[in-house]
Structure 1
Amino acid sequence: MTNYVALLRGVNLVGRSGLKMADLKALAEELGLKSVRTYIASGNLLFASGKPEEKLRLMLERSLQKHMGKQVRVMLRTAEEMTAVVRANPFQKAPGKNVQAFFMNDAPPKDLLSTVRNKADDERIAAGKREVFVAYGEKGIGRSRLKIPAAEAGTARNMNTVAKLAELAREL
């Protein structure tokens, strides 16, 4: 059995993209996933399974599409990979709430930095294994105009959340 974290893209509490975390947990249990739990209501699912990652990702995406009536992209990481993301954060000195890890299913492109648009002088960007790290400046993420085309299909979590998810995944 491997412990996983599933990070859902574009899931909110209410509105058209609304998904109750109790429903997400139930969907995962219906798929036969073990030790299922959610963390904060932003599309974070923790579970254990012996199935391969790609099969799990596709199972979750199909189940979510059926339940929600729209495509929901899922990024999966093992507990070890989540811990590695925490360690790989190149902006360790910045407050965790100001650093976002954009999770993707593939590695960032080699030309990542040349494709970025609207970067403020105090925003910093770095590529990870299957992540893009962004340290937001004084304006914070809420007022940033930064566009990262390579990360648009992924989903972001701040490093405080990433660290907590890594801890929870190890404890499953």
Structure 2
Amino acid sequence: MPVHIALLRAVNVGGTGRLLMSELRALCEDVGFTDVKTYIQSGNVLFRSPLPADDAGKRLDESLARIMGKAPGVVVRNRRQLETIAERNPFPDAKPNYLMVNFLPEAAPANALSDFVAPDGEEAKVAGEEIYVHYPNGSGRSRLTLKILRRATSRNLNTVRKLAEMAAEIEAN
């Protein structure tokens, strides 16, 4: 059975979308997912399901809507996809915690960076369903504006690598 990695949008960020990871694990088990594991408090959950990735993400998003009052948005990837994302990092000299991978629910449009404003020297590259952003001064202090990121859920490169590693461990069992 495939291992899915679900990335929840707007969960436990800035005091909004509060969700305990123990609640997320229980919810995943209630909808029939197995081998459920979470990673840190920002809405990362790995699980096995016979459902295709899109269907598993939709089921999780709908279940979350029932307990959170609205669907947060869920993007699902697999281990190989995360490994490829990490390998194709267009900013290899960036510190991994200063490089954010923004996961979109669909491929970015051709003009995704047309409104990109980077007053602090940020750099961005589009790669299909992901947008890499290097924040040389850290993302917390950044004044970057890019409207498409409102639809994305972001993880730093360290987290992307750790999730791929965790998925490999689940697959090995």
Q: TM-score category by the smaller chain?
A: over 0.9
Contact kept? 1:61, 1:71, Cα under 8 Å: yes
For residues 147 and 46 of structure 1, what CA distance do their matches in structure 2 show? 30
For residues 56 and 163 of structure 1, what CA distance do their matches in structure 2 show? 22
Match in the other structure for 1:155 = 153
Unaligned stretches of 5+ in structure 1?
none
Q: What stretches of structure 1 move > 2 A for 4+ residues in a row?
A: 13-16
| AA matched with 1:157 | R
Match in the other structure for 1:30 = 30
Match in the other structure for 2:86 = 86
Q: CA RMSD in A?
A: 1.5
For residues 13 and 105 of structure 1, what CA distance do their matches in structure 2 show? 19
Offset of 1:40 from its aligned partner? 0.4
Q: Are the structure 2 counterparts of residues 98 and 17 from structure 1 closer, same or farther at C-alpha, using a change threshold of 3 Å? A: same
Q: Are the structure 2 counterparts of residues 159 and 16 from structure 1 closer, same or farther at C-alpha, using a change threshold of 3 Å? A: closer
Contact kept? 1:13, 1:20, Cα under 8 Å: no
Count of equivalent residues: 170
Match in the other structure for 1:42 = 42
Offset of 1:114 from its aligned partner? 1.5
Contact kept? 1:8, 1:74, Cα under 8 Å: yes
Unaligned stretches of 5+ in structure 2?
none
For residues 115 and 62 of structure 1, what CA distance do their matches in structure 2 show? 32
Q: What is the TM-score normalised by the length of structure 2? A: 0.93
- 1:1-172 correspondence to structure 2 within 5 Å: 1-12=1-12, 15-116=15-116, 118-120=117-119, 122-137=121-136, 139-172=137-170
Contact kept? 1:123, 1:134, Cα under 8 Å: yes
Give secondary structure in 2 for the equivalent of 1:113: coil
For residues 49 and 89 of structure 1, what CA distance do their matches in structure 2 show? 29
| AA matched with 1:129 | G
| AA matched with 2:81 | E
Report percent identity of matched pairs.
39
